[in-house]
Amino acid sequence: MWIFNSPKVVFGDDALEHLENIQGHRAFIVTDSNMVQFGFVKQVQQRLAVAHIESAVFAEVEPNPSLQTVLRAAAQMVEYQPDWIIGLGGGSAMDAAKAAWLMYENPDADPAAINPMDVYTLREKARLIAIPTTSGTGSEATWVTVLTDTELGMKLGLGTPELLPDLAIVDSTLTMGLPPRITADTGMDVLTHAIEAYTCTLRNDFADGLALKATELVFKYLPTAYATGSDAEARLRMHSASTIAGLAFGNAMLGLSHAMGHSMGAVLHVPHGRSVGLFLPYVMEFTANGGGTRYGEIAHFVHLPADDEEVGAAALVQAIRDLSAQVNFATSIKALGIERAAFDQALPKLVANAEADNQLFFNQRYAAKNDLARLFEYAYEGRSIDF
Ligand SMILES: [Zn+2]
């Protein structure tokens, strides 16, 4: 048995207006200081006011939110007693909102150990709205929350199905001002979600179509969103792609690019999308070598040569490298500006973290410790792995 989960999704360039129709009394907005500065928090509060909902703001979420940040937000929720929680921002803000909401309703829970096996009480006090302002993490469509244990220097991939937002508001006007660098990083994250969802061991018929569509949208619209950020069509389609890919991997899983990407993000402080997207072609070459993959089907769907699996996999890897070049996306760790000595010093930790990451287990080909070391090494130098 398997359950397909989805929030109610409101999308389009006027989606934010939907806030004027919700029922409730008090909303607690979890966000970061940029969202205040850009006026997005105000926009949300004005819409809520139309619905006669008062609101409070916690704008202290940092990139890679820590357990401490989550606990601080939850403590303020306890004081304010909201009946809506709103996560507004990129993945960090939405993930912090999810975990803080869980702590608000379950004060005795351990935020570092939120997992699908435990039973939590949710929706007795509040419901959750996620409003993404980047086209990347897909957190608005999943029950995952990625937090950072700052003491261990480690990212924690946590979650439980109850954490799925009730409502996702996918309004692309919030992404119009994103700088090209962030557009590229987050867009490559979307592509990685889609390809890993389609090829991981928990892939399924319900998620497959979503993964293929998201892949197609990224190939088609990311170059324009990157080069011409004011292109409303490209922004709208990339914002859709992000949520669609979130639904795909939220109902399947991911793979090795995310295990390695989470590790590099925590150890070498590389942004999430820049990290996972960098590893994607290497992981595909490694995984295709083990057989049993479906890269050829994806290649066929996006009109690349795909006579057989090997040809399709190679064509898809090349298309990803070409797309990376178009959006000036680094394709090696060295190209990120990380010195050889720093990399060598970090390597044991990079491997150990990736080995401990649960996404490792959903990759079609299992990567043992020596495989991981080899993959990181190839990715450092930018060397292709032979099929
Ligand atoms: Zn990701």
* Confidence grade of residue 12 (pLDDT, cut at 50, 70, 90): confident
CA–CA separation, 213 and 208 (whole Å): 9
Per-residue pLDDT at 290: 80
Per-residue pLDDT at 387: 52
Per-residue pLDDT at 52: 98
Select the more confidently predicted residue: 148 or 215: 215
SS3 310: helix
Query: What is the edge-to-edge ordering of all strands in the sheet holding 127-132?
Result: 8-11, 167-170, 127-132, 84-89, 26-30, 54-58
Per-residue pLDDT at 384: 86
SS3 27: strand
Q: Running DSSP on this structure, what letter comes out for residue 66?
A: B
Ligand 1 centroid distance, CA of 195 (Å)? 11
pLDDT in tens, 181-224: 999 999 999 999 999 999 999 999 999 999 999 999 999 999 99
Ligand 1 centroid distance, CA of 51 (Å)? 34
Ligand 1 centroid distance, CA of 172 (Å)? 19
Ligand 1 centroid distance, CA of 257 (Å)? 9
Ligand 1 centroid distance, CA of 276 (Å)? 7
Ligand 1 centroid distance, CA of 81 (Å)? 32
Ligand 1 centroid distance, CA of 99 (Å)? 18
CA–CA separation, 73 and 121 (whole Å): 18
Select the more confidently predicted residue: 244 or 153: 244
Ligand 1 centroid distance, CA of 144 (Å)? 11
Q: Are 200 and 363 in contact (CB under 8 A)?
A: yes
Ligand 1 centroid distance, CA of 215 (Å)? 14
Q: Which two structure tokens, joined as six digits, stand for 23?
A: 């029922």
Ligand 1 centroid distance, CA of 79 (Å)? 33
Ligand 1 centroid distance, CA of 57 (Å)? 26
Ligand 1 centroid distance, CA of 46 (Å)? 31
Angstrom distances, CA of residue 9 to CA of 111, 170, 177, 243: 27, 7, 22, 9
Alpha helices in 51-179 (DSSP H): 67-80, 91-105
Using CB atoms within 10 A of its CB, is residue 307 exposed (0-12), middle (13-18) or buried (19+)? exposed
Q: What's the mean pLDDT in 7-11?
A: 98
DSSP string, 269-284: ---HHHHHHHHHHHHH
DSSP string, 200-248: STT--HHHHHHHHHHHHHHHHHHHHHHH-TT-HHHHHHHHHHHHHHHHH
Per-residue pLDDT at 358: 87
Ligand 1 centroid distance, CA of 258 (Å)? 6
Per-residue pLDDT at 152: 83
The values of phi and psi at residue 280, to 5°, are -50, -55
Q: What's the mean pLDDT in 112-119?
A: 94
Ligand 1 centroid distance, CA of 208 (Å)? 17
Cα angle 321, 190, 33 (rounded to 5 degrees) comes to 120
**Cβ neighbours around 337 below 10 Å, total:** 8
Ligand 1 centroid distance, CA of 78 (Å)? 31
**239-240-243-246 Cα dihedral, nearest 10 degrees:** -100
pLDDT in tens, 256-295: 999 999 999 989 999 999 999 999 999 999 999 887 899 9
Per-residue pLDDT at 82: 98
* Selection from 266, 131, 132 nearest residue 190 by Cα: 132
Q: Are 207 and 252 in contact (CB under 8 A)?
A: yes
pLDDT for 386 beyond 80: no
The angle, 0 to 180 degrees and rounded to 10, between the axes of the packed helices 180-199 and 272-289 is 30
pTM of the model: 0.96
Ligand 1 centroid distance, CA of 56 (Å)? 29
Ligand 1 centroid distance, CA of 137 (Å)? 5
pLDDT in tens, 329-375: 999 999 999 999 999 999 999 999 999 998 999 999 999 999 999 99
Ligand 1 centroid distance, CA of 183 (Å)? 14
